[in-house]
Amino acid sequence: MFPNAAELSRSFDLMPAPEAFDDGAINPLPDHNPIRDLPYGGVLYATDRAPATGDCAEPYYPSARGQVLRLGAARIEVGDTAMTWEEARRISLLKNRPKTYPLRVTGVTEFGILESTRNALFGREPGDDPAAPGRMFAAAINAKLAISKLKDVFIYVHGFKVVFENPALVAAELWHFLGYEGVFIAYAWPSTPRSRAYFGDADTAAGMARNLRELIRFLETDTDVRRIHLVGYSAGTRLVTRVLEHMALINRNAAPGGRRYGEKLGNVMLIGSDVDRELFAAMLADGVLEVADHMTVYVSSIDNALNLSRMLTGHFRVGAMFRKEEMTPHLLNYFAEREDRLSRIDVSHAANAASGNGHAYFRSSPWVSSDILMTLAYRLSPAERGLTLDPETGVWRFPGDYVARLRKALADRLAAEA
């Protein structure tokens, strides 16, 4: 919930290399510099923050709500400018790097407003071509998909109290370890860079869910995407789960044979989720698991940020482990009946998961980042990714020999594809 220094910074060092790549046997990065091939020179973004004005200290988009969704591309500088791509490729895949590998946002190009997100408080300027921003965004996506083996779009939704640059940089580093395949979109909702804004940001996260829903709908209808994957982190999972709830309820009234909201949603990941557990149970009852192909919920018993959130709100969070006494036969049966739609993964024993306050484990733990990326890249099941199932709780865990199991699973997968 509460950020570290990197989340408030406009640049940071690339996260540790996922364990899957550390021995060098598997290298997701191409021999040539893929960044030069990007049709838009960086990472695409969608933000419902208001744009910066002349007297604003923020260079691009401050934390103020902008009502509508603005689309664009952020230019990302990766690594030391003096590095060759061959050197950058080698260094970035090392868990213990001899030098830093910085990421920074160097500028943005805004395409304009996604027309379907206008509302009663935000009209249209005379003479605007309302469809132009969407056309530009779709063209950028389609141009990248055309040169990618992976025809998927990944949307990263950030957590509480971060500046605009943070989701763009996190999206860039996740995309880096996917070998720049597919398209990554940074979704920058208007979180406030102040600790006391926690409850206000909760309202914002819920209110801005409509814009994320419309973005997904636009991608489904106006681009060449095959599947869309959502990676929600911390307070950002409030947007993600609210969107799924919207779609589930809208789809109830869909005409037989008609288009459904979320029809191209693949994997939905809730990482360190700050959603109220009881509210999430109501969402499950409304059918959120029926919207996407699969939902993966990462949980932890050592996430101190979620422990603090529980103290502040008085309610357990989705990203916290159930206590043993809470695992009733009814709950165990509920999860078992939905194992094809829902996976719960305990990161408590993953390497480096306790780093900091134990909340940003998807970046700090090479094991967890491997699990996330292998799911997105290869759509492997938890067992295929080297995890083991605890029969008493129905939760997947990282075993002590996880690294060996993961590498064998990847070797088997790559051999099958050869």
Q: What is the mean pLDDT of residues 369-397?
A: 92
pLDDT tens digit sequence for 218-253? 999 999 999 999 999 999 999 999 999 999 999 998
Which amino acid, 178? L
Cβ atoms of 20 and 26 within 8 Å: the answer is: yes
The residue type at 374: M
What CA–CA distances, in Å, run from 144 to 180, 182, 197? 10, 7, 37
Provide, for the chain, the percentages of residues in helix, strand and coil under a 3-state DSSP scheme, each rounded to the nearest 5: 40, 20, 40
pLDDT band at 197; cut points 50, 70, 90: low
Sheet of 388-390, strand order:
11-13, 102-113, 65-78, 42-49, 183-188, 153-157, 228-233, 265-271, 294-299, 342-346, 395-397, 388-390
pLDDT value of position 5 = 40
Q: Who has greater pLDDT, 187 or 91?
A: 187
Residue 109 to residue 74: CA distance in whole angstroms: 6
DSSP state of 321: P
Mean pLDDT of 23-46: 80
3-class SS of residue 59: coil
**Locate tokens 């060092």: which residue?**
13
Residue 146 domain boundaries? 5-417
103-162: pLDDT as tens digits: 889 999 999 999 999 988 787 777 678 999 999 999 999 999 999 999 999 999 999 888
- The CATH number covering residue 28 comes to 3.40.50.1820
Helix (H, G, I), strand (E, B) or coil at 254: coil
In Å, what is the CA distance from 2 to each residue of 71, 94, 307? 27, 28, 11
Identify the pLDDT of residue 2: 39
Q: Domain total for the chain?
A: 1
Q: Which two tokens stand for residue 130?
A: 């309302």
**Please, what is the average pLDDT of the chain?**
88
Q: What is the pLDDT of residues 266-300, one digit of tens each?
A: 999 999 999 999 999 999 999 999 999 999 999 99
